[in-house]
Amino acid sequence: MKLFFSSTSPYVRKVMACAHELGVADRITLLPSNAHPVTRDAGIIAHNPLGKVPTLITDDGLVLYDSRVICEWLDATHNGHLFPRQGAARWQALVLQSLADGILDAALLARYEEAARPEALRWADWQQGQLDKVHTSLLALERAPQPLHERADIGTLALACALGYLDLRFDAWGWRGRFPHVAAWATGFMQRPSLQAKWALPG
């Protein structure tokens, strides 16, 4: 398997964390890329017209994207346990993954407003609106943190990767101080080997 990746992409981190949990991380060859919202990478576009990471090429040539599809394919193909098959546990895991990905989508847009948009064109209220999505999502988790414990599924892995991205890019925003219960869970959960592996850490 081959994976177009970026070392700081939280979505790539989610895929690689899942691969590690499933014991197949060493079967994935990482393909360096330069995904960017403005200056796009033609090498990725040749396989994924969206030009985004992660993009996975399977051993039989199937091209998969985005992270949600790749993670579910890895789990289904390798008889995994990260996607509960039925019942309330399945929907809880999928909804938490959607919440985590929504946190990431908003955080990335807020990041791009500073890192990719010329200063004269930046819109502070729009950026604040994106960060407010992060705030309200973490507030909901803070008020009902119990479902996070004793779980290792696609939802909790996705959330850990989202919170790791906040540590990387929005440390000054101080999410850990604002949401101590979520922070305490994250501190413990991030000790999992799948999230400590060198390739999985933002750098």
* Structural domain boundaries in the chain: 2-82, 87-192
**pTM of this prediction?**
0.93
Average predicted confidence (pLDDT) for the chain: 91
Question: Is the pLDDT score of 85 beyond 60?
Answer: yes
CATH entry 3.40.50.620 includes domain 87-192: no
Residue 150: the pLDDT is: 82
- The DSSP secondary-structure symbol of 35 reads -
Is domain 2-82 in CATH 3.40.30.10, yes or no?
yes
Residue pair 64/58 in contact by the 8 Å Cβ criterion: yes
Q: How far apart are CA 191 and CA 77, in angstroms?
A: 26
Which pairs with CB-CB distance under 8 Å and at least 24 residues apart come from 44-52?
Answer: 44/4, 47/4, 48/4
200 pLDDT more than 60: no
The whole-number average pLDDT for the span 149-156 is: 92
Percent of the chain having pLDDT more than 90?
76
Comparing CA positions, the residue from 151, 159, 47, 48 lying closest to residue 97 is 159
Whole-angstrom distance, CA of residue 45 vs CA of residue 30: 16
- Residue 35: pLDDT band (50, 70, 90) is confident
Which pLDDT does position 14 carry in this prediction? 97
Model pLDDT for residues 110-126, shown as the tens digit of each residue: 988 887 777 777 788 88
Bridge partners for 57 per DSSP = 2, 63
Query: What is the residue-wise DSSP string for 76-110?
Result: HHTT-SSS--SHHHHHHHHHHHHHHHHHHHHHHHH
Identify the H or E element spanning 55: strand 55-57
Q: Is the predicted pLDDT of residue 201 greater than 50, yes or no?
A: no
More confident position, 146 or 155: 155
pLDDT exceeds cutoff 50 at 203? no
Task: Please compute, for residue 193, the number of CA atoms within 13 A of its CA located in the half-sphere on the CB side.
Answer: 6
Least confident stretch, 28-37, 84-93, 103-112, 180-189: 28-37
Phi first, then psi: give them for residue 49, nearest 5 degrees. Answer: -60, -20
